[in-house]
Structure 1
Amino acid sequence: MWILFTFLAAFMQAWRNAFQSKLSKDVNVAGVTLARFIWAGPIAAVYLFSLHQYQPTALPQFSADFWFFVIGASSMQILATGLMVKLFKMQNFAIGAGLAKSEALVAAILGVFFFGTQLSLLGWLGVVVGGLAVMLLSSKQGFKQLSVKTVMLGLACGSAFALTSLWVREASLTLQGPFTHRAAWVLLWVISIQTIVLIAYLIAKDKSTLSALWQRPKLTGAISVASCIGSIGWFSAMSLQAVPYVKTLGQIEVFFTLMIAALWLKDKVKINDVAGLVLIAIAAILVMWS
C-alpha cells in the first residue's frame, strides 16, 4: 500500500511543480506558495469526511506532541515551497525540481541521526550518489562552473521538505486509528494552518498578490488539487513506512518531471541534466535496496 501511495504522490507532485513553475512567471513567491494550499483545505476536509463515513472511527485525541509536529511541519513546508519557487526562477523547471529532491537524501541522514532509522553501507552509497547528482544538477556547465548559491538553495529546500516529512510522520504516529484517517487528520490541520498564515500575511503585506491569484483561477486550482492529492499520497505512505524509504522511492518523480518538462513546458533538458536526474534515481534504488 505504501508503494502505491508513493507512486501516486510522486506523479501528482511532478504536475504540481510544473503548474507552480508556470505560475511563478507571473506571481511572486508568496503567491505561488499560497496557491498550493488555498483550495486544498476543502478537498482535504471532504476526503477526511468520506473516510469517516466509509469506516466510522472515534475522533482522535490531539496531544501537545501532535501540535508541535503539525506546526513544525506546516512552517517547514511553507519555507520549502518558497525556496523551491526561487529555484524555478534560477534554473529551468526540471533542474529546480531535481535540486529539491535532495529532500530524500537529507531525510535519510536526519532519520539515521535523530529518528532511529538505520541505513546499511549500500544505503549510504545511495546517499553519496544522490549528493553528486544534486551538485551536477546545480551547474549549467557541469562541475567546472558549479554554482555554490544554487547548491545551497537546493539543499536548504530539500532539508526543509525533509523536516516536513519527518514531522508529518511523527504527528501521525501520535494518533490512534487506521493509517488513512491518521494521515488525513494531519493533512487537514497542516493545510489549514498554512492557508491561514499565508492569507493573513498577504492581506497585511501584499493584497495585490491575492488579486493576481484570483485572476488565474484555473492554474491556481490545478496547483491546489495536484498538491492535495499528492499530499494524501505522501502522508498516507509516511504513516505506514519510514520517511527515508518513502522519499527515496518517490524519486520516480524525476522521470515524470523530465517528461512534463520536455513535452508540456518545452524546456530544453541537456545531457548532464538527464545524467543528474538519472543519478538521483539510482541513489533512490540503492537506498531502497538497502
Structure 2
Amino acid sequence: MWIMFTFLAAFMQAWRNAFQSKLSKEVSVAGVTLARFIWAGPIAACYLYGLHQYQPSALPEFTGTFWGFVIGASSMQILATGLMVKLFRMQNFAIGAGLAKSEALVAAILGVLFFGTQLSLLGWIGVVIGGLAIMLLSSKQGFKQLSVKTVLLGLACGSAFALTSLWVREASLTLQGPFTHRAAWVLLWVIGLQTIVLIGYLLAKDKSTLAALWQRPTLTLSISITSCIGSIGWFSAMSLQAVPYVKTLGQIEVFFTLMIAVFWLKDKVKINDVAGLILIAIAAVLVMWS
C-alpha cells in the first residue's frame, strides 16, 4: 500500500508542476500560485472529514505556537510556488522542476543547523552532488556558461519549500491525536490561509488574474486536484512506512517529470539536463539514506 501511495504522490506532483508550467504562459505568477490552492481546500476538508468518520477523534487544541508555524509554512509555500513559476519561465519545465527539487538537500542543511538533525558523511556527499547538479541544470551550455541568477533562484525556491516542510511538521507535533488527523488539520489550515491571502491580494491588486483563472477552469481545477491528491499521497505513504523509504522511492517523480516534459509539453531535454536531474535524484537518495 505504501508503495502505491508513493507512486500516486510522485505522479500527481509531476503533473501538478506540468499544469502549472502550462498555466504560467497565460497567467501571472500570483494566479498560477493561487491555482494550486483554490480548489484544494474543499478536497482537504473532505479528506479530514473522512478520517474522522473512519477513526473518530477529539478536536485538537490550536495553540499560538501552532498558528505561528502554520502562518510561516503558508507564507513560505506561496513564495516557493511563485519562485518555481519564475523558474518555469526562465528555463523549460523539466529544468524548473529539477531546480525546485533542491528542497531535500536544503532541508538536510537547515535540519542540521536549526532542527537538531544529524547528517552522516554519506548525507553530506549527497548535498555536494546536489549542489553540482543544480549548477549543471542552471546552464544551457554546461558549467562554461553558468547562470548565477538561475542557481540562486533555484536555491531560494528549494529553501522556501524546505522551510514549508519543516514548519508543517513542527505544527503537526504541537497537536494531540492520531498522526493522520494532526497532519490533515495542518494541511487544511495551511491551504485555507493561503487561499484567503491570495484571493484578497488579487482582489485588491489584480482582479484580471482572477478573471483569467475563471476563464481557464479545467487547467485551474487540474492544478488544485493534483496538488491536493499528491499531498494526501505523500502523507498516506508516510503513515504506513518509514519516511526514508518513501522519499527514496518518491524520486521516481524526476522521471515522471522528464516523460511529461518530452511527450506532453514537447520540451527539448538535452543530455546535460538529464544528467543534472539524475544527479539530483542520486543526491536526494543519499541524503535520505543517511
State the TM-score, normalizing by the size of structure 1. Answer: 0.95
Tell me by how many angstroms 1:180 deviates. Answer: 1.4
User: Which consecutive residues of structure 1, in runs of 5 or more, have no partner in the other structure?
Assistant: none
Q: Which amino acid aligns with 2:258?
A: L
Q: Structure 2: how far apart are the matches of 1:283 and 1:6?
A: 19
Q: Secondary structure at the match of 1:269?
A: coil
Q: Structure 2: how far apart are the matches of 1:128 and 1:109?
A: 11
Question: 1:151-185 CA deviation, whole Å, 9 max, x = no partner?
Answer: 00000000000000000111111112222111110
Q: Which amino acid aligns with 1:31?
A: G
Q: Structure 2: how far apart are the matches of 1:75 and 1:239?
A: 26
Question: 1:25-77 CA deviation, whole Å, 9 max, x = no partner?
Answer: 10010000000000000000011001101110111111111111100000000
Q: Structure 2: how far apart are the matches of 1:105 and 1:12?
A: 22
Question: 1:34·1:195 contact (CA, 8 Å) conserved in 2?
Answer: yes
1:181 and 2:189 are equivalent in the alignment: no
In the other structure, the counterpart of 2:135 is 135
Q: Structure 2: how far apart are the matches of 1:287 and 1:211?
A: 43
Distance 1:243 1:117, change over 3 A: farther
1:150 and 2:147 are equivalent in the alignment: no
Question: 1:205-245 CA deviation, whole Å, 9 max, x = no partner?
Answer: 00000000000000000000001111223455677899888
Question: 2:247·2:288 contact (CA, 8 Å) conserved in 1?
Answer: no
Q: Which amino acid aligns with 2:95?
A: I
Question: 1:85-129 CA deviation, whole Å, 9 max, x = no partner?
Answer: 000000000000000011110000001111121111011111111
In the other structure, the counterpart of 2:213 is 213
- The correspondence of residues 50-199 of structure 1 with structure 2, limited to 5 A, is 50-199=50-199
Tell me by how many angstroms 1:252 deviates. Answer: 2.6
Question: 1:104·1:244 contact (CA, 8 Å) conserved in 2?
Answer: no
Question: 1:183·1:236 contact (CA, 8 Å) conserved in 2?
Answer: no
Q: Which amino acid aligns with 2:85?
A: V
State the TM-score, normalizing by the size of structure 2. Answer: 0.95
Question: 2:202·2:209 contact (CA, 8 Å) conserved in 1?
Answer: yes
Question: 1:173·1:239 contact (CA, 8 Å) conserved in 2?
Answer: no
Q: Structure 2: how far apart are the matches of 1:248 and 1:204?
A: 43
Distance 1:229 1:87, change over 3 A: same
Q: Structure 2: how far apart are the matches of 1:115 and 1:8?
A: 29
In the other structure, the counterpart of 2:204 is 204
In the other structure, the counterpart of 1:15 is 15
Comparing 79-88 with 177-186, greater Cα deviation is found at 177-186
Distance 1:128 1:167, change over 3 A: same
Q: Structure 2: how far apart are the matches of 1:71 and 1:2?
A: 30
Question: 1:13·1:230 contact (CA, 8 Å) conserved in 2?
Answer: yes
Tell me by how many angstroms 1:282 deviates. Answer: 1.1
Q: Structure 2: how far apart are the matches of 1:171 and 1:2?
A: 24
Question: 1:81·1:157 contact (CA, 8 Å) conserved in 2?
Answer: yes
Comparing 258-267 with 232-241, greater Cα deviation is found at 232-241
Distance 1:2 1:166, change over 3 A: farther
**Count of residues in correspondence between the two structures:** 290
Q: Structure 1: how far apart are the matches of 2:146 and 2:4?
A: 36
Question: 1:169·1:235 contact (CA, 8 Å) conserved in 2?
Answer: no
Q: Structure 1: how far apart are the matches of 2:117 and 2:237?
A: 16
Distance 1:162 1:242, change over 3 A: farther
Question: 1:112-152 CA deviation, whole Å, 9 max, x = no partner?
Answer: 11112111101111111111111100101000000000000
User: Which consecutive residues of structure 2, in runs of 5 or more, have no partner in the other structure?
Assistant: none
Distance 1:94 1:286, change over 3 A: same
Q: Secondary structure at the match of 1:45?
A: helix
In the other structure, the counterpart of 1:39 is 39
